[in-house]
Chain A
Amino acid sequence: MAKAFDFPGGIHPPQRKALSTRTPLIQAALPTHVVLPMDQHIGNPAEPCVEIGQRVRTGERVALAQGMISADVHASITGTVTAIEEHPIPHPSQGKRLCVVIERDPNGDDDWCRMPPLDWRHADEDTLLERLRHSGVVGLGGAGFPTQIKARVRELHAIDTLLVNAAECEPYITADDLTLRTYPDDVIEGAQLFARLCGAERILIGIEDNKPEAVEALNESLRRHAEDSVPIELKIIATRYPSGGEKQLIKRLLNREVPSHGLPADVGVLCHNPGTLRAAVRAVRDGEPLISRVVTLTGEALARPGNVEARLGTSMHELLNAAGLKEDELARLVMGGPMMGFALDTTALPLAKTTNCLIAATEHELPAPPKEQPCIRCAACEQVCPASLLPQQLYWFAKAREHDKAELFNLFDCIECGACSYVCPSHIPLVQYYQAAKGEIRERRREAHKAEHARHRFEFRQARLAHEAAEKEAKRQARAQAASRVAARTAQPSRQEPRGEDAATAKEQVKQLRIAQAAAKAALRKAEKALARASEAGEGELDDLEVQVATARENLQATEARLAAAQKDEQQGEPRQ
């Protein structure tokens, strides 16, 4: 058993995992057509790189990643691109996004277009990173963060532990369980691959004790891989929701806390889901990009619940029908788990990279939430909060839109696990309140940033005008001086007296301008440093910082022009003293 580090709170909802673990993992039938959304990951949507009518083979790239945080999309069947158009996608927003639609060839061949296999133990790191970048692999646990970025974690952080998050703590979901039972070798090889990439000294596999078959399969595989380079330890923890939360698992296994607003990498940990590791190793070792995933099809409205490995873009309707969907009993279709997932309005949606579970629930098993009642501050939510927040206070602040106070009570440390909503005796959908408040705060920040940016642009314009004016003035002064020198030469004796005073003020002016110049130089250096830091961290708002640097530069140039003019003035004054 794992050591008893622990996170506070947590709940024990009914598991309902046995529904989908009774049958082994099966391969879904090849779909006749697939709809591949460009937006299956966190970050920028990919850009289609095929044309309508183009023939594509399985594994061929159909869309290119855009910008830093993004992922490629690959054809999941062999056939012809018939449309590139907006389609509803499985997303909480229930919106439409650009999708590439592929119609399978009537002859039905599954013709693969593989990348050359790599021996990851000996290939150099850049080759491996390059391969991951072109494989379209994203986090398959549900969040969909592009894996290639996590693979490059070493550039900024020192990692000592690779954590394989196999806790799978949400009710119903068994996709990782079945992946581990069926492909334990692939998962462990993937873990070794990532341990190499991030430089971890050890690998921990965190798994809840409700998956004995997966543990058995892992143990057997570990015996076979005993000679592997990085030591692997299997940590079995007592089942409690939300152990599978990244931060909670790190606390539980390593007794480290990810700092607020930070990443696991900040405490030397890299977390990966078993399915992601398998997908990564397939991309590297076999040259197969991510074109399929394991998805749990469960719920009491299915006659044959279970886990299937299905091609991405397959219609959910097809998958659910193959699992024996009883449409008259279906009351609610949920993607993800019942705690953090969201309800879907229709089954006419494609399977996305982030679809780890589909629950076809009857009215009886996931009934509509009871009517919301007033909060009586009973603190049941506080007792279950895994982040030690005060959910009852956050609720009041969110409801009253006292966003400053909500932030003061660490609203942004909420992981939205839903434990508070689960236990609330007044049936308040607390997490929805928090999500709304977070959304409003983010929107307000964006507005504030926009206003700030506009102000900086205005300042830049002012600085540029001042710079131009200073240069013009310097030129005018030079001309005037040249003219006065000519005039002075013609009438020299009459203009001797006032020069002494003039020289003193000129000297004073030069001194002041020198100080201003030094200040402007310092300001420029500071702005440049801020820009360098931000671009290194890969944060947004670079445009704003660039404007600030330009402003500082204009200011410096204006001061220098004025200084040069004043110095000239001074030098001319001096010989006549």
Chain B
Amino acid sequence: MSLMHASVEPARLPPSSGQVMAWLLLATLPGIATLAWHFGWGVLTNVLTAAAFGVALEALILKLRGRSPSATLRDNSALVTAVLLGVSLPPGSSWWLILVGMVAAIVIAKQLFGGLGHNPFNPAMVGYALLLVAFPLPMTQWAAPHGLFGPDAMSLPDALQLLAGLDGNQGLDGMSGATPLDAFKHKPETLMASEFWASSPLPEGAMGAWRAVALAWLAGGALLLYKRLISWHIPVAMLGAMAAIATLLYGVDPSHYGSPLFHLLGGAAIFGAFFIATDPVSAATSRKGKLYYGAGVGILVMIIRTTGAYPDAVAFAVLLMNFAVPFIDYYTQPRTYGHRAPTRGIKVKQLDDDLEEPR
């Protein structure tokens, strides 16, 4: 029994769970800012609406479960889930889309399993995957990078109109299109990659905007690493596995497979590696397990991107690896002090003595 506690020592870190989550929110700011700078007000309306829904839904369910909402909301975990889902949605999504996603994330994926710490799946990704499968059209229309204040930029009232689900303005249709990964995926088979890019399949500045966003997430991830809120194992394993596979494929056939850099910076890979896959609740827990888990996510992302139906696959890869977490945890225990070898797998002793041979 420790009567001392690191988090209540005046001068010492690590912080409490609520503070961990607050730092995580802080680390998302560069990514959100860059996204908004390039893709407009729709990003901010997404995040703020999702946050409001997230907190409200969490409070509602906690009340129904007979828990104190004020005490639990202070851990900021609902806010984190909401922000992560909010930035994943196409900018300027309608309120009902966000609501459906948040219900799936907070109510179904998190609270129905017992709340924070008990969810086997990453809540934000459950919400995202459900939306992607159920509403493919609004989920794949990504805004063109017209910026916040540019000449073609959508104004704040327009963004609010989109949020309200009033798609009256005809001009808005012309403002959205595919993501780079999506466009490249649907490239005609006969077209060479160089020809494809020469045909400018994306709105102007889209590639640059996506790269900038990825680098902003990387900066946020660096903050998380620096504050030791996440360990390096999952991001490094995931991005390493992706880079290795992408290099291999690109080396074999550069005309039909994207370059490693395109895969790392063109989609949600960096964001997923630092902010999604590192969710400690649903990830593998030992250091070695985290390496396997991260590599598994990276491999699945590449498999789905190259052979599956979805252009970006972080959500599905993370959810699939969430399934594998208990298995990984049983097989990656560290070697305990005083043991020759680590324990592997589940060798549970049979406690029932009726099963002994009769005498």
Residues of A participating in the B interface, judged by any CB pair closer than 8 Å: 7, 11, 13-14, 171, 247, 251, 257-262, 332, 334, 338-343, 366-367, 369-371, 373-380, 382, 386-390, 392-393, 404-405, 407-410, 413, 418-419, 421-427, 429, 431-432, 435, 448, 451-452, 459
Contact B5 A369 (CB under 8 A): yes
**CB of A325, distance to nearest CB on chain B (Å):** 19
Q: Does B15 contact A (CB under 8 A)?
A: yes
- Chain A residues, Cβ within 8 Å of B334: 388-390
**CB of A335, distance to nearest CB on chain B (Å):** 11
Contact A408 B348 (CB under 8 A): yes
Q: Which of A377, A413, A448, A452 contacts B280 (CB under 8 A)?
A: A377
Contact B6 A413 (CB under 8 A): no
Alpha-carbon gap, A2 to B148, bound state (A):
61
Alpha-carbon gap, A408 to B345, bound state (A):
9
**CB of A383, distance to nearest CB on chain B (Å):** 8
- Chain B residues, Cβ within 8 Å of A370: 5, 7-8, 16
Alpha-carbon gap, A552 to B286, bound state (A):
49
**CB of B284, distance to nearest CB on chain A (Å):** 9
* Chain B contact patch, size range: 35 or more
Q: Does B349 contact A (CB under 8 A)?
A: yes
- Chain B residues, Cβ within 8 Å of A435: 1
Contact A426 B333 (CB under 8 A): no
Alpha-carbon gap, A562 to B56, bound state (A):
84
**CB of A391, distance to nearest CB on chain B (Å):** 10
Write the chain A residue with the least CB distance to B329.
Answer: A393
Write the chain B residue with the least CB distance to A248.
Answer: B337
Alpha-carbon gap, A252 to B132, bound state (A):
54
Contact A380 B14 (CB under 8 A): yes
Contact B2 A418 (CB under 8 A): yes
Contact A404 B348 (CB under 8 A): yes
**CB of A278, distance to nearest CB on chain B (Å):** 28
Within 8 A of A (CB), among B210-240: 231
- Chain B residues, Cβ within 8 Å of A366: 3-4
Q: Does B102 contact A (CB under 8 A)?
A: no
Write the chain A residue with the least CB distance to B290.
Answer: A379
Contact A421 B1 (CB under 8 A): yes
Q: Which of A251, A367, A451 contacts B353 (CB under 8 A)?
A: A451
With A366-B3, A393-B285 given, name 4 new contacts (CB 8 A): A382-B286, A390-B334, A424-B5, A451-B353
**With A338-B4, A382-B286 known to touch, is A405 a contact of B346 (CB < 8 Å)?**
yes
Write the chain B residue with the least CB distance to A462.
Answer: B359
Interface SS of chain B: helix, strand, loop or mixed?
loop
Q: Does B338 contact A (CB under 8 A)?
A: yes
Write the chain A residue with the least CB distance to B336.
Answer: A410
Write the chain B residue with the least CB distance to A172.
Answer: B4
Contact B338 A260 (CB under 8 A): yes
Chain B CB count within 10 A is highest, among A261, A340, A388, A432, for A388
Q: Does B165 contact A (CB under 8 A)?
A: no
Write the chain B residue with the least CB distance to A444.
Answer: B351
Stretch with Cβ within 8 A of A (4 or more), from B36-44, B112-120, B167-175: B112-120
Q: Does B347 contact A (CB under 8 A)?
A: yes
- Chain A residues, Cβ within 8 Å of B351: 404, 448
Residues of B participating in the A interface, judged by any CB pair closer than 8 Å: 1-9, 12, 14-17, 19-20, 71, 75, 77, 115-118, 231, 280-281, 283, 285-287, 329, 333-339, 343, 346-349, 351, 353, 359
- Chain B residues, Cβ within 8 Å of A418: 1-2
- Chain B residues, Cβ within 8 Å of A260: 336-339
Alpha-carbon gap, A418 to B1, bound state (A):
6
What would be 26 A-B contacts, judged by CB atoms less than 8 Å apart? A171-B4, A339-B4, A371-B71, A376-B116, A376-B117, A376-B280, A378-B17, A379-B287, A382-B286, A382-B287, A388-B335, A388-B337, A390-B285, A392-B285, A405-B346, A405-B348, A408-B343, A418-B1, A421-B5, A423-B14, A425-B7, A426-B16, A426-B117, A431-B2, A448-B353, A451-B353
Write the chain A residue with the least CB distance to B230.
Answer: A378
Contact B5 A422 (CB under 8 A): yes
Write the chain A residue with the least CB distance to B74.
Answer: A373
Alpha-carbon gap, A342 to B1, bound state (A):
7
- Chain B residues, Cβ within 8 Å of A380: 14
Contact A375 B346 (CB under 8 A): no
- Chain B residues, Cβ within 8 Å of A421: 1-2, 5
Alpha-carbon gap, A392 to B280, bound state (A):
11
Contact B3 A382 (CB under 8 A): no
Contact B337 A13 (CB under 8 A): no
Alpha-carbon gap, A387 to B285, bound state (A):
16
Q: Which of A332, A374, A377, A459 contacts B3 (CB under 8 A)?
A: A332
- Chain B residues, Cβ within 8 Å of A392: 285
Write the chain B residue with the least CB distance to A359.
Answer: B3
- Chain A residues, Cβ within 8 Å of B353: 448, 451-452
Write the chain A residue with the least CB distance to B286.
Answer: A390
Contact A379 B17 (CB under 8 A): no
**CB of B8, distance to nearest CB on chain A (Å):** 6
Q: Which of B17, B333, B349 contacts A390 (CB under 8 A)?
A: B333
**CB of A121, distance to nearest CB on chain B (Å):** 36
- Chain A residues, Cβ within 8 Å of B348: 404-405, 408
- Chain A residues, Cβ within 8 Å of B115: 374
Q: Which of B17, B116, B339, B343 contacts A425 (CB under 8 A)?
A: B17
- Chain B residues, Cβ within 8 Å of A409: 333, 343
Contact B3 A341 (CB under 8 A): yes
Q: Which of B3, B118, B287, B329 contacts A334 (CB under 8 A)?
A: B3
Contact B4 A13 (CB under 8 A): yes
Alpha-carbon gap, A369 to B3, bound state (A):
7
Contact B14 A257 (CB under 8 A): no
**CB of B283, distance to nearest CB on chain A (Å):** 8
- Chain A residues, Cβ within 8 Å of B75: 373-374
Alpha-carbon gap, A448 to B349, bound state (A):
14
**CB of B14, distance to nearest CB on chain A (Å):** 6
- Chain B residues, Cβ within 8 Å of A369: 3, 5, 8
**With A409-B343, A425-B14 known to touch, is A377 a contact of B285 (CB < 8 Å)?**
yes
Contact A259 B4 (CB under 8 A): no
Contact B117 A374 (CB under 8 A): yes
- Chain A residues, Cβ within 8 Å of B3: 332, 334, 338-339, 341, 343, 366, 369
Contact A247 B337 (CB under 8 A): yes
- Chain B residues, Cβ within 8 Å of A251: 337
